[in-house]
Structure 1
Amino acid sequence: MKCNFHTMLQTNTSLSKLVSLVLLSTILLASTAHATQGQATIKIYTEHLPPYNYLEDGEFTGYSTEILKAMLKEAGLNSSFTMLPWGRAYLSASTEPSSLLYTTTRTPEREAYFEWIGPIGPRKMRLFKLKERRDIQIKSEADLRKYRVGIVRDTSAIKLVVERGLFSKQQIDEAPTTTSNMKKLFFRRIDFILATSGGARYELEHLPYRLEDIEPIYTLDEDFQFYFAVNKSTDAVTVNKLKAAFEKIKATGLLEILRKKYSVD
């Protein structure tokens, strides 16, 4: 009986240890799963497009960036920001799950490829020329076809001006950024640049030229607006969190405050 008692005691002790280990393992697995979910990251892709999105002292900033950061904080989402030329940023966001692209124009051609959050604001694009270029006379849209225009590569604006007959593809000088186009304008390699007023103002503040040296000569239509575009494969919970966060941020009046801060029209 003594031997049997000790055997039973050892068996019960081993069983208790086994149960404890199983319970501990279950708790650890649940904790790990919860931590992994909490660490889920949405990949943010953008381009250099001041005053909407740009780098300043190594930090992502700008009108749209501040809105997005407020949304991410409200939604409790982690993120990683990457700045690329527009074509690469668009390709990355359109092919990678759990990714977001900004600032982008919502067009019929792009509609089916993203979940859209916004609008952030109107897309008011203008043609600018050097004020001293008195040889450039625009009395009708047909006159635009006499000149060369600089537009950022792979943007919807190129398709828009060609479809509207404002410029032919041969007249368009494609560049990676508005900064490149602005320099070409002052070097007289092109006759116009296509930009927002805020974008033109920002570029000239960071180049050895003055805002007074250029003038708008034509405004494209304002049928389209700027949005945040989320990859279609992103889980619905994340998308809904972002949409709800945007509406909450918008209701606080933050967008109006930032429009004034960044001179966005």
Structure 2
Amino acid sequence: MRAPCLLLSQIFLALSLIALNAPSRAQTLQIYTQSWPPYSYEHQGSLTGYSTELLQAVLQEAGIDANYTTLSWSRAYQHASTEANTLLYTTTRTPEREELFEWIGPIGLRKLWLFKLKERTDIKIKGVDDLKKYRVSIVRDTSSLQLVMERGLFPRSQIDEAPTTTSNVKKLFFKRVDLILATNGGANYELSQLAYAKDSIEPVYLLNDEFSLYFAINKKTEATTIEKIRLAFDKIKSSGLIETLKKKYKVD
């Protein structure tokens, strides 16, 4: 009986040494995002978009497995800000959020434009004082809405809150609002999905461009995981992939 037992012991020891010496992978990361074309959205049953492709490349480089969940922005933000081992994208890095996350990026500049129908030649905006003349639609529970509210850029009675950028664009064509607030990439993508001419809306005023877009990691996430992602992002950034994806998805 000693020979079989000795053989089993040798096999167990060999397997243990292999396990110890094998490269370890980080714990599976839970990813939360919203449907926000062209940054993250579903196409033919798969999650895609500028930020999605970039994040997938970063995590592959870092050797980190991930589960992706698409939720409303408010729910995605709630999960990622309270749960360990989570990452949220695409996120605006603001002073109010600074201490809540570890930030990876920037992955792009957030330029917030006010768009109008091209046929609305009566809408003219030369400065912030002109904003009070018009009704605007903004996606609810976003940093964009928070910025507008905190700075009093529009009277509260003239702000229409919408669930998505798609709703915003439709409201513009139905003439329920005069303006919508969106990124250039977001507005152009939504227009491409609707039965309207591509040049039927136009940016009329750059409202804000002081903040950038990032990947946000919950601070309770393992430090080794965060560091792997940070190093992988730096490597992907130097590869030129960011500029390639910006051209592909037509983002600023």
Q: TM-score, normalised by structure 1?
A: 0.86
1:254 aligns with 2:238: no
Give yes or no for contact 1:125–1:195 (8 Å, CA) kept in 2. yes
Runs of 4+ with >6 A deviation: 19-35
How many percent identity over aligned positions?
Answer: 58
Give the Cα separation in 1 of the matches to 2:65 and 2:21: 14
The residue aligned with 1:121 is 108
Q: Secondary structure at the match of 1:241?
A: helix
Shift of 1:237: 0.5
Letter matched to residue 196 of structure 2: Y
Q: Secondary structure at the match of 1:257?
A: helix
Q: Which of 152, 156, 176 is the matching residue for 1:165?
A: 152
The CA deviation string for residues 164-209 of structure 1, in whole angstroms up to 9 with x for no partner, is: 3211333221112100111111111111111111111110110111
- Most deviating of 45-54 and 229-238: 45-54
The residue aligned with 1:10 is none
Shift of 1:145: 1.3
Asked which structure has the greater CA Rg, the reply is: 1
Letter matched to residue 44 of structure 2: D
The CA deviation string for residues 30-66 of structure 1, in whole angstroms up to 9 with x for no partner, is: 888999x647210111111111111111111111111
The residue aligned with 2:122 is 135
1:218 aligns with 2:205: yes
Q: Secondary structure at the match of 1:234?
A: coil
Q: Secondary structure at the match of 2:129?
A: helix
Alignment of 1:181-220 (within 5 A): 181-220=168-207
Report which of the two has the higher share of helix.
Answer: 1
Letter matched to residue 176 of structure 1: P
Give the Cα separation in 1 of the matches to 2:17 and 2:197: 60
Letter matched to residue 143 of structure 2: S
The residue aligned with 2:225 is 238
1:61 aligns with 2:40: no
The structure-2 alpha-carbon separation of the partners of 1:29 and 1:92, relative to structure 1 and needing over 3 Å to count, comes to farther
Letter matched to residue 89 of structure 1: A
The CA deviation string for residues 66-108 of structure 1, in whole angstroms up to 9 with x for no partner, is: 1100001100110111111111111111111111001110000
The structure-2 alpha-carbon separation of the partners of 1:110 and 1:24, relative to structure 1 and needing over 3 Å to count, comes to same
Q: Secondary structure at the match of 2:153?
A: coil
The structure-2 alpha-carbon separation of the partners of 1:26 and 1:176, relative to structure 1 and needing over 3 Å to count, comes to farther
- Name the count of aligned residue pairs: 251
Give yes or no for contact 1:86–1:176 (8 Å, CA) kept in 2. no
Give the Cα separation in 2 of the matches to 1:65 and 1:261: 13
Q: Could you list the runs of 5+ residues in structure 1 that have no partner in the other structure? A: 1-12
The residue aligned with 2:82 is 95
Give yes or no for contact 1:106–1:224 (8 Å, CA) kept in 2. yes
Give the Cα separation in 2 of the matches to 1:263 and 1:211: 14
Q: Could you list the runs of 5+ residues in structure 2 that have no partner in the other structure? A: none
1:178 aligns with 2:170: no
Give the Cα separation in 2 of the matches to 1:214 and 1:194: 12
Report which of the two has the higher share of strand.
Answer: 2
Give yes or no for contact 2:116–2:201 (8 Å, CA) kept in 1. yes
Give the Cα separation in 2 of the matches to 1:30 and 1:177: 53
The residue aligned with 2:91 is 104
Shift of 1:25: 6.9
Give yes or no for contact 1:90–1:101 (8 Å, CA) kept in 2. yes
Alignment of 1:144-163 (within 5 A): 144-163=131-150
Give the Cα separation in 2 of the matches to 1:107 and 1:15: 67
Q: Secondary structure at the match of 1:40?
A: strand
- Most deviating of 63-72 and 158-167: 158-167
Give yes or no for contact 2:139–2:165 (8 Å, CA) kept in 1. yes
Letter matched to residue 121 of structure 1: G
